[in-house]
Every structure is written in structure tokens, then in C-alpha cells.
Amino acid sequence: MIKVKFPSVFVQITGKRRIEVDGVEKVSDLLEKLFQDFPKLKDRLLKDGELTPFINIFVNGEDIRHLNGLETKLSDGDEVTFIPAISGG
């Protein structure tokens, strides 16, 4: 079971901020599953096939760009968090 947390700006698409997802082995699988369940999310997260730079994805608090990107493996109990890319002053 993978725990997934969304920012509030996703709620109009996903209906809630926390869901649990089964049967995914890596981040790209998770995205595929989310895109099936919430097709609008796909339109907004992907631009020309690339993930928008304005949402960062973290696995257990680590930015996937510092892990293995979309190929980052997921295992039972992992937490995936989507966070708007805001930082600094």
C-alpha cells in the first residue's frame, strides 16, 4: 500500500488530499494509475509529455529528481507527496 498526499490545489480534481494506492512498483506506475482515476490530472500535470516543473514529487521526503526520477521504486508503506514548487525568498 502506497500512501499518496496531494496539495489542496489538486482537490477539485482528486476530491481529497490523501489516498492509498495498491499494485504499483515505481513512480511512473503510480502516475499512470492516478491518470486513469483522475484524467484531468494528466492534462494539467503533463505538458508535451513532460511533468510540469511547478509540482515536485517526493518519495518519503526525498525529491524524485535526487532519486531515480520516474523510475524511482516504490514499496509497501512508502509515502508519495506532491508539493507545489515554492521555495526561498
Partner 1 sequence: MKVVGLKCRICGKEFPAEAIYTCDNCFGPLEVVYDWEWIKEHATKEKIERGPKSLWRYKDFLPVDVEPVDLGAGYTKFVKAENLGKVLGLKNLFLIDDSVNPTYSFKDRVVSVAVTKAKEFGMKAVGCASTGNLAGSLSAHAAKANIPAYIFVPKGIEKNKIIQALVHGATVVEVDGTYDDANRVATEVAEEHPDWGFVNINLRPYYADGSKTLAYEAAERLGWTLPDQVVVPMASGALLNAIFRGFRDLERVGFVDEKDVIFNGSQPYGLPISRAVKYGKSVEPVKKMDTIVHSLAIGNPADGIFAKEIIEKTGGFAEDPKDEETIEAVKLLAKTEGIFTELAGGVTIAGLKRLVEDGRIDSSDVVVAYLTGNGLKTADPILEYLNDTVKIKPRLEEFEEVIA
- Applying CB under 8 A, which residues contact partner 1? 5, 7-9, 12, 17, 44-45, 47, 52-56, 58, 61, 63, 65-66, 81, 83-89
Distance of CA 29 to the CA centre of its chain: 10
| Bridge partners, 77 (sequence order) | none
| Kind and range of the H or E run holding 17 | none
Give the whole-angstrom CA distance, residue 42 versus residue 39.
5
User: With respect to partner 1, which residue has the nearer C-beta, 9 or 25?
Assistant: 9
In the complex, least distance from residue 38 CB atom to partner 1, rounded to whole angstroms: 13
In whole angstroms, the minimum distance from the beta carbon of 51 to partner 1 comes to 10
